[in-house]
Structure 1
Amino acid sequence: MESVAARLVRARQDARLTQVELARSVGVAQSVVSRIEAGDTQRSKYLIPIAQTLGVSPEWLAQGVGPARHATAAEIRRYECAGAETRLIIQALLSIEHGLPMPAEAPASLRPLLEAARLMVRQTPRV
């Protein structure tokens, strides 16, 4: 199972933030973020505001439980307005974007296109 440190590093890099930028956003010293990422601190009182800043679930960040990320309000509105097939496509694209497994219900006719999108996401360099 992935550690708190590894989950924090992954979430911070996915958000394209440095330790300094994350620390400023949360209102803590950079050393707080550094200690958590180094594995020196497992149970920081700052995990909830860090998770909120990074847009990930506090439960996932602290314990590795549940999905890493909850859908944003805009994603939910977009999803609710769509038809059934479109909702499956949106689910698949969000899964690809966030490195999650593709839903099994994704339309077979679109699987080649979705797999190509997944490969493009994997090959895109992270800053």
Structure 2
Amino acid sequence: MATLGENLKKIRKAKKMTQKNLAQKSGVKQSVISDLETGNAKTTGSILELAAALGVSAEELKKGIIDESKLSNIEIVKPRMAPVLSWVQAGVFTNVEAVDMSQVEEWLPLPDECEECFYLKVQGLSNFPTFQENDYILVDPCVQFDDMRSGDMVVVRKFDDATFKKLVIETDGTKYLQALNPELKPNIIPLDEDCNFVGEVVDCIRYIYKSKRRSKTIKHNI
């Protein structure tokens, strides 16, 4: 059975830490760590500090039984995910908390700078070719409409319908929405009292190829 010193040395090396590194992180003298690893230590009173510095429990350190994922300096980061809402949900959107997430069928990774962002899947060609059908636009509902500038892409709902267009602010303060597709006529939507700002389009994802998910079956030779 491995000794405490052997377990300590194994875990320390797996963490790519020198005795000096461990000493600095744990507050335990390097000489004490050296004595523990060589079996010359007269006391083992520093186990709690050493275990905490290594990211394991004292019991795991003493027994040498630990989760293999704890032997790495690389932290396993699970990506945060954002819901892909339907345009129907966007049409009645008030805030993220009001959305029934059990009705969401698709989720995509969420950038670090977004807290309550969500995705919408582009439909139609009103903003073609900049935005193409089936693109995923990322919408940040936490920004304020007063902070928007002319040229920003925004999502607006009117009654139960939602749309995203370029915001245009004229020099006289007049505001309206404009489709990016010059072929779309008319391509201007007035902003009136019935229009409610949902959020700013801050990013876009386009899949060049995405296969349909199928149930796994037994492979057969062709």
TM-score normalised over the length of structure 2:
0.30
Which structure: greater helix fraction? 1
Which structure: greater strand fraction? 2
